[in-house]
Amino acid sequence: MAGAGIVAAASPLPLVVADPLVARQGELLRGLVPAGSRALTLDDAPVTLTADGRYMLGIDRDATGDHQLAWVTQDGRSARRRLTITPGTWEIDHLPARLVNQNPNAAPNPAWEALRTAETTAIKAARAETTPWPFWQAALVWPATGRISGVFGSQRIYGDRPAAYHAGLDIAAPHGTIVKAPIPGIVRLASDGPFSLEGNIIILDHGQGLHSAFLHLSRILVKPGDIVAQGQDIGRIGTTGRSTGPHLHWGLTWRGVKVDPLPLLPAMPTAEGQTAYD
Ligand SMILES: [Zn+2]
């Protein structure tokens, strides 16, 4: 792959700070403040700033209102910008309450709950590890190509009870299709003892709080601690865990805030030998 080095090639970014800054719900905002700036905060919480003034912010899918980005300029003045959140558009399915697939009268299952706690703890621990290396600055490539079978933010509402929204991008492709690293990263979790919902899972650390999770894999080709280059083969598509057919679920999080990978990607390349899926 071109540019498959460990040090990420920076993607083009705006050279001025827009006022107000505008970001969409579910967006990973990648921005730039003037060189030499320091002490960047969002609503008084510190945000990592690279030496050349680059930063990223994850905007929650349900974030609203105005926020404030502030920093100290090279000559010691304080600067601030209003950050305005614009609404995302989500696929919402309204279904009758009787179709909810959880039985509220089901007996508690302590064994399952203990297993689930161990799995979510492992996922949280993997996302708590983050390198200061700014791998996230690379322009993303598709980890696999195929039919988009699920989009970020979509949600089923049963009667008046919303189910959890879909927090990733689903790419349907034949069982065994290679999954590539969309940007460089460090493997923080690689488990082929399938998790009950996620199946075989890989979590990559892209630096400064950004992580990818790849779910439902049939095979895992990396191990924890591996440093992977952009475009490197990391696993194979499968249907392990809670899944109805072979596909890749790719979730992207910034400090645990779930963001949409799709707007960060170029047009999907047409791969030779790729089965059209529909
Ligand atoms: Zn999914």
Spacing, Cα 249 to ligand 1 middle (Å): 4
236 confidence band (pLDDT: 50, 70, 90):
very high
Q: What local confidence, expressed as pLDDT, does residue 17 receive?
A: 67
16 confidence band (pLDDT: 50, 70, 90):
low
Record the tokens describing residue 186, joined without a space: 């460090």
Spacing, Cα 164 to ligand 1 middle (Å): 12
pTM: 0.88
Is pLDDT at 151 greater than 90 in this prediction? yes
Q: How far apart are CA 137 and CA 129, in angstroms?
A: 18
Spacing, Cα 198 to ligand 1 middle (Å): 9
Spacing, Cα 22 to ligand 1 middle (Å): 27
Domains of the chain, each with CATH number or no CATH: 21-86 (2.60.40.10), 92-264 (2.70.70.10)
Contact between 6 and 21 under an 8 Å Cβ cutoff? The reply is no
Q: What local confidence, expressed as pLDDT, does residue 104 receive?
A: 66
DSSP state string for 80-110: EEEEEEEPP---EEEE-GGG-SS-TTPPP-H
Spacing, Cα 74 to ligand 1 middle (Å): 44
Altogether, the residues listed in the chain come to a count of 278
1 confidence band (pLDDT: 50, 70, 90):
very low
Which one-letter DSSP state was computed for residue 158?
Answer: E
Q: What does the pLDDT average to over 200-215? A: 98
User: 261: which residues sit within 8 A by CB, 6+ positions away?
Assistant: 140, 152, 168, 169, 182, 212, 250, 252
Spacing, Cα 82 to ligand 1 middle (Å): 33
Spacing, Cα 32 to ligand 1 middle (Å): 31
Q: How far apart are CA 100 and CA 169, in angstroms?
A: 23
Q: What local confidence, expressed as pLDDT, does residue 20 receive?
A: 80
Q: What local confidence, expressed as pLDDT, does residue 18 receive?
A: 72
Q: Give 96 or 142, the one with higher predicted confidence.
A: 142
Is pLDDT at 277 greater than 90 in this prediction? no
Q: What does the pLDDT average to over 151-169? A: 95
Spacing, Cα 33 to ligand 1 middle (Å): 34
Q: What percent of the chain clears pLDDT 90, i.e. is strictly above it?
A: 80
Spacing, Cα 72 to ligand 1 middle (Å): 40
271 confidence band (pLDDT: 50, 70, 90):
low
Q: What local confidence, expressed as pLDDT, does residue 15 receive?
A: 45
- 254-270 confidence digits (pLDDT tens): 999 999 999 999 999 87
Q: What does the pLDDT average to over 173-187? A: 98
Spacing, Cα 41 to ligand 1 middle (Å): 32
Spacing, Cα 70 to ligand 1 middle (Å): 35
Q: What local confidence, expressed as pLDDT, does residue 100 receive?
A: 80
Spacing, Cα 274 to ligand 1 middle (Å): 20
User: 267: which residues sit within 8 A by CB, 6+ positions away?
Assistant: none
Q: What percent of the chain clears pLDDT 70, i.e. is strictly above it?
A: 90
Record the tokens describing residue 122, joined without a space: 């492992």
Average pLDDT of the residues of the chain = 90
Is pLDDT at 51 greater than 90 in this prediction? no
Residues with CB under 5 A from ligand 1 (ion): 150, 168, 170, 249
Spacing, Cα 68 to ligand 1 middle (Å): 32
